[in-house]
Structure formats: C-alpha cells, structure tokens
A and B are shown apart, each in its own frame.
Chain A
Amino acid sequence: NAGVMQNPRHLVRRRGQEARLRCSPMKGHSHVYWYRQLPEEGLKFMVYLQKENIIDESGMPKERFSAEFPKEGPSILRIQQVVRGDSAAYFCASSPTSGTVNTGELFFGEGSRLTVL
C-alpha cells in the first residue's frame, strides 16, 4: 500500500513564478489536508478538502494561494506569484473516507520543499 505521495519533493522558483504542489492521498482516502511548515517551526493548517469540495480553508492566505481536489487525480496546492516568504515545506495528509481527525487516522506525506529565490 503506497502512502501519501507528494511531488515534487523539492521545487525552486524565482519570485513571481507559480508553484504547483501535488498530493495523491492513500488509496481509499478522500479527505486531504495541506499544512505548511517553516524551518524549526510546527505545522500550520492551511486547507481541508474532500473530493471536489473545499471544506475548510481558514488557514489559506487570501491571495495567491488556491487548492483543489478534483474527482480524478491528485490534490493540487497552487501558489501564484511566489515571494521569498513562501519558502517552506508543504505537507499533505489524508484520512479515510469515514474517518476524521479525531480517530488519529491522519497520514502525512514526505512533503514538498519550496525554495523561492
């Protein structure tokens, strides 16, 4: 059973470019969460999605950031016109269809590390 797959693992962008981060949840999981982690800090919640729906985006910056989880294919976190402050590790997690965070069944990927030059 493959775990949560994220790609790319490392991404370098210049200021003003776009970054696209992809996340394929574990098989059978339809709940996806995105977190951001700055160096030496904890993970900050960004967005929670189910298939074709954004459930909670309270942690997403109002501008330049968007997320989707289409019916087919991976979840995408998109950052437009990146700035240096966007440099961070972005982690995706998934949970089972019938599970919630309260069951502890939140499985994390290895992360995508974005560096903005």
Chain B
Amino acid sequence: GESVGLHLPTLSVQEGDNSIINCAYSNSASDYFIWYKQESGKGPQFIIDIRSNMDKRQGQRVTVLLNKTVKHLSLQIAATQPGDSAVYFCAENMNTDKLIFGTGTRLQVFP
C-alpha cells in the first residue's frame, strides 16, 4: 500500500508569503525523496530532491527539509507567487526502479 501521505490536502496562502507543504512517509528504508509540482492538465514537474544522508537542500526559492527521525518531509516556498498555484506531490524511492507518490497538496495563492 501507499507509504507516503500528506497532512494538508489544501493550502491557501497570500501572494508574497512563504508556503510550507508537509509530507509523511512510513518506510524508513526510503533513501531518496522528490517533490513534484503538477499544474492543472499537465504532467508532474520535478522541483527538488533530497537524499537520506541530508536533512536540508535549497534551490531557487524552494527548500526541502528531511527529518528521518519522524519520517517527515517538507517543501518550503519563499515569497509564494500566483504561478506557484498547483498540486504538489512528494515521492519516495527505496533504491528500486519506481517512485511512490503521495496523495498531493493543492496550493492556492491569493493576491
């Protein structure tokens, strides 16, 4: 069954604020995690990834945090913009040939 889940199905933020999207995973053997963004009617788009030997990784306006103790992953988006509105998925890999996706969180950005 699914081992990846999200705490909040919908997150509404005001433009310019920071967004935090959370993800819980249950398989401690997972060693690689990816955040994807999916806009309406489109395919998932890679945002950022992190390996289990790290606890933080930064990209452009995005930061992923990994807490292996509580099996928690988060995606932080700084200065959220209307173009960030989408569904965000975390996905995990256990050194196999496939990714396991979570249910997703819808991010809505209001002006």
Complex Cα–Cα for A82 and B101 (A): 25
Task: Please state if A56 and B98 are interface contacts (CB–CB under 8 Å).
Answer: yes
- Taking beta carbons and an 8 Å cutoff, which residues of B are in contact with A? 2, 4, 31-32, 34, 36, 41-46, 49, 89, 91, 93, 95-104
The 8 closest A-B pairs by CB, nearest first: A108-B43, A42-B101, A104-B49, A45-B98, A43-B101, A108-B44, A110-B43, A48-B97
Q: Which of B43, B45, B46, B98 contacts A111 (CB 8 A)?
A: B43
Interface size bucket, A side?
Answer: 20 to 34
| Known contacts A91-B44, A108-B43; is-contact A48 B98 (Cβ 8 Å) | yes
Complex Cα–Cα for A33 and B2 (A): 18
Complex Cα–Cα for A110 and B38 (A): 10
A-B contact count (CB 8 A): 62
Chain A, residue nearest B89 (CB): A42
CB distance from A108 to the nearest CB of B (A): 4
Contact pattern, A 34-75, Cβ under 8 Å of B = 1, otherwise 0: 010000111111001000000110110000000000000000
Q: Inside 8 A of A2's CB, which chain B residues have their CB?
A: none
Task: Please state if A91 and B93 are interface contacts (CB–CB under 8 Å).
Answer: no
Complex Cα–Cα for A55 and B78 (A): 40
Q: Inside 8 A of B49's CB, which chain A residues have their CB?
A: 104
Task: Check if A116 is an interface residue, CB within 8 A of chain B.
Answer: no
Q: Which of B42, B44, B46 contacts A43 (CB 8 A)?
A: B44
